[in-house]
Amino acid sequence: MRRFLGGGLLVVVLGGALLLAGCDFLEFIDDLFGRGGGIGGVNFVEIVAEYSFGIEVMNRDTGTLQPLALFASISSIGPLTFDAASSTYVAETPPGSDPYVRMSIQLDESGSKIWDLDVERRMTHDAGSWERIDRLVAYDIPYHRVEGDSTFYRIDVTLPQWIGLGRVEYRDWSTTLHSEQDPAFWVANPSDVQAYFDADPNRYIEIEFRQ
């Protein structure tokens, strides 16, 4: 796991860029998060991963790519597990749940950045006649702000040099006409979507930790 080296300058995105010396930064995070049982001592009860950007997906009927305004808002379900050794939050519903949600989110030890994020949801829609899978894998998402009892990490157009989009999966299919292996719509190359993300002026990925 990657860690900050002591004594250097650290950057936190809080509206603009804020530079703090190492020990001052840790005091800032402690004051921000309070004391308890998770990162910085806080006990979070829910995580919401939301993202939106334009992409192209394959259309099974036409065999061609078509534009899609991809949006997903995925909430954890049930208790969150925090592994202090790896600074990782994990949540997963039982297999076969509808929706089925799985999350693994690793932060740095101070809580200033999400190092690794892997979020997946599988759910039916349209009265159960369609099924959809969304998955997001991303890296290096910085702390952004606190609003009320929520702490946010965010990537958007204000950070044009960010290259942390590892994987985006999207599959959608009729439960009577198609299958997960042969869906109606899907991302053709889920590991190569950074260019789509960079091209959308309204792009964002936002992770909300709720107390």
pLDDT exceeds cutoff 50 at 150: yes
In this structure, what are the phi and psi dihedrals at residue 51, rounded to the nearest 5 degrees? -150, 155
Alpha carbon 96 to its chain's center: 22
Where does the chain have alpha helices with state H?
22-33, 194-199
pLDDT exceeds cutoff 80 at 35: no
Average pLDDT for residues 112-132, to the nearest whole number?
A: 97
Range of the domain at 67: 35-210
What's the Cα-to-Cα distance from 182 to each of 47, 84, 115, 124, 137, rounded to whole Å? 31, 40, 33, 16, 22
Does 21 fall in a domain? no
pLDDT score, position 146: 96
Average pLDDT for residues 19-23, to the nearest whole number?
A: 41
pLDDT exceeds cutoff 80 at 38: no
Q: How far apart are the first and last CA of the chain?
A: 26
Does 161 fall in a domain? yes
Q: Which residue has the higher pLDDT, 89 or 35?
A: 89
Residues 6+ apart with CB under 8 A from 205: 49, 50, 51, 136, 138, 141, 154, 155, 156
pLDDT score, position 14: 36
Does 85 fall in a domain? yes
Residues 6+ apart with CB under 8 A from 182: 60, 173
Does 1 fall in a domain? no
DSSP letters, 32-47, are HH-SSSSGGG----EE
Residues 6+ apart with CB under 8 A from 195: none
Helix (H) or strand (E) holding 74: strand 64-75
Does 182 fall in a domain? yes
pLDDT in tens, 56-80: 999 999 999 999 999 999 999 999 9
Does 131 fall in a domain? yes
Does 114 fall in a domain? yes
For the chain, how many structural domains are there in total?
A: 1
Does 166 fall in a domain? yes
Count the helix, strand and coil residues of the chain and give each as a percent rounded to the nearest 5.
10, 55, 35
Q: What is the mean pLDDT of the chain?
A: 86
Average pLDDT for residues 45-61, to the nearest whole number?
A: 98
